[in-house]
A and B are shown apart, each in its own frame.
Chain A
Amino acid sequence: MNSLTSDGNFHPRRLVVETDVARYPFAAAIRDRLAGVPVVVVDRADPETLTALPDPELPTLVLAVHRGRFFKPCPGTAASYRCCLYHILHLALGCTIGCSYCVLQGYLNRPFITQFVNLEDAWRELETAFAAGDRFYRVGTGEFTDSLFMDDITALSPRLVQFFARQRQAVLEFKTKSVNIRRLLDYDGDIGETVVSWSVNAPAVAEREEGTAPGIERRLAAAAACRQRGYRIGLHFDPLIWFAGWEEGYTRAVEMIFDYLRPDDIIWISLGAFRFMPPMREVIRDRHPASCIIHGEFIRGLDGKMRYFWGLRRRLYEHLRRQLNRRAPGVRQYYCMEHPEMWRRTFGAAPADNDVVSRLLDRACWRYGDSCLNVR
């Protein structure tokens, strides 16, 4: 059963709630919005309990209390590659869009989407971290889930925007493939410097490999609408896929971007060639037998991940950068988890360390300039 509309939104057919969540108003609000959806109450929504539920394929939203840390550094990758020192706000887990390359498939093999409801603990953790005042944070909610694909159910985005609008030394980035932006647009408070980012790709890749996600054109139209409302827009060409016709495909994607957005609308564009941990090959083969993405020319990188052979990555990056620079020479571009040598060959200089990459992106944020932290 497909739980998604063509908008890529999540429509649960069952709600699993931990007994503890009753005291959280956020959980009650979600339950109200899902009136009519059958509810199962469990003591603890651990994997054993969830997989023992009848009809394990039923699209299920789990409301749970998060007992670990909400706010943590992005795991990045081995020291051999440059990483942007992003931070993750871990509020939900799982995604049903079904991209063939998605790393979450390796962790989650059931359509259980978990929403953590103890937001008060998350706010507290963030405030403690920000109170130290010793650094600038770029914070994202889209590492272990799509930031917006169930925002119509959770109504979380306005609360996040409101919270981060008050922070002087942090910006929030939503990362999504969905067009579920109604709550972002309807929110009429201060949006600070919130970034809404879309994962973009060649149209053929989006169609073939990105499950039920809306097409690139619809994503860009949503981006334009968010920009109109005042949000800053980020774009992530990740993963770049090598396929027959990739040059035309990525050229077209860049053209489409600037049909909808002006260069000034875009805060940053990341580029990352397809990479995966070796066991993912079997997962992708099993779950997406028609997908060809695992049949590229891969080598095992210094972080143990399979990556395109150096020469192919370089051609992908050079082509993308040429197209982007032609249309928007001033927009910040960066590589996600690339080797400094690749930076040097294609950007002309390699960042000496991860702090340099981090500052490159921090400086794209206006409030970084205002935060008196730009002296480090």
Chain B
Amino acid sequence: MIELSCQPEPISLTEVDFADRTYPFSWGAPPAGLVASVRRLGVMVPPLLAPGTKGWIIVSGRRRLLAAGEVGLAEVAVGRLTTADPAELLPRVFWENAGSRSFNPVEAADILTVLEPLLPAAELARDVVPALGLASGARTLARCRALHDFPEVLRDLAAGGRVDGETVDRLREWSPAAIAAAARRATELPLNRNQLRELVELVDGVARRQGEPPAVVLTRLKDAAGNGAKDGDGPGRDTPAAVRDRLRGWYYPHLRAAEERFDRRRAALGLPAGVCLQPAPGFEGGFLELRCRVAGGDAWRTQRDWLAALAPETVDELLDV
């Protein structure tokens, strides 16, 4: 057993290899509360480091060290291990972390992915998965593996809770370039969790139907935004709603054409003020939804007369989408 308690000694932050993720217990910026605490009190609990090839690697305390850097500390007192066996340390440090905080989705995914080869499957399912706040089942493990390997830009979104499991399921079949492109789009617009899921679902659907890689669809989507005048968005401007609308237009071309045809016919009918006539565009037969807003006897008479004059053929034509 490795003895984790060792005498803290100061170390320059420049000697710490922040890029190393042998011990992947945290991802993302340190919480504001921790930064405020470090600014006021310094790093109270020494992080634990081990020797690595490009400097000292972080075994535990990444967020404390990042907070120290953020508040301008040059040195931090740390515990240094002379040797470290990740196979032995990883489970132990995991349980120390799990006892004191919860993990964001990326951290949970990274931890499960590194612990998977080290622990028996039964122990993983019984103890580790619940401690990470994850659902049980093979799908969870597949999602975690995918999230572990996703590009940084998407992992940042996921750490912020903006990537749900279904989105991960779709994205894990995409190329890294396409995943990064989707994540950049989600950051620029910006898209919330549901909007991102819908974007990925639609891009994936369009790509599969057309037999194109998702990256091509995303490029086309971006180009279409550039030609925004045509789409009514204005050049160079784009919004989540406009992107969704454009994608839905590609994914539902016949439905979109039918909606437009219906709108033209409805406009040609000359509806009286206050009357709203709506079919479900995916019309299943039988009815149109007619809404009348009546503000007085005159409006009522106008609308009644209009309805009385509505020929069955006109209704048929309206419904013939």
Contacts and interface: CB of A to CB of B under 8 A. Distances in A.
A341 B286 contact: yes
A261 interface: no
Residue with the highest number of chain A CB atoms closer than 10 Å, among B205, B251, B254, B286:
B254
Contact of B254 (A289, A311, A339, A341): A311
A314 to B, nearest CB: 9
Interface in B207-254: 208-209, 251-254
Interface residues of chain A: helix, strand, loop or mixed (majority): mixed
B130 interface: no
Contacts of B285: 310, 339-342, 344
A312 B286 contact: no
A310 B209 contact: no
B255 A299 contact: yes
A165 interface: no
Interface string A326-346: 000000000000011110110
Interface residues of chain B: helix, strand, loop or mixed (majority): loop
Residue with the highest number of chain A CB atoms closer than 10 Å, among B280, B284, B286, B320:
B284
A297 B202 CA distance: 11
B102 to A, nearest CB: 28
A292 interface: yes
Contact of A339 (B258, B286, B320): B286
A307 B280 CA distance: 14
Contacts of B258: 309-311
Q: How large is the interface on A (under 10, 10 to 19, 20 to 34, 35 or more residues)?
A: 20 to 34
B252 A309 contact: yes
B253 A297 contact: yes
A339 B284 contact: yes
Contacts of B252: 297, 309
A299 B282 contact: yes
Given A339-B284, A339-B286, A342-B285, A295 B253 contact: no
B106 to A, nearest CB: 24
A310 B286 contact: no
Given A292-B208, A311-B321, A297 B284 contact: no
A80 B284 CA distance: 9
B300 interface: no
B249 to A, nearest CB: 11
Contact of A299 (B208, B253, B280, B319): B280
A297 B254 CA distance: 8
A322 B170 CA distance: 40
Nearest to B316: A345
A351 interface: no
A302 interface: yes
Contact of A302 (B173, B251, B284, B321): B284
B283 interface: yes
A296 B252 CA distance: 8
Nearest to B173: A289
Given A292-B209, A310-B321, A297 B286 contact: no
21 contacts: A80-B284, A292-B208, A292-B209, A295-B205, A297-B251, A297-B252, A299-B255, A299-B284, A310-B258, A310-B282, A310-B321, A311-B255, A311-B321, A312-B254, A339-B284, A339-B286, A340-B286, A341-B284, A341-B319, A344-B285, A345-B320
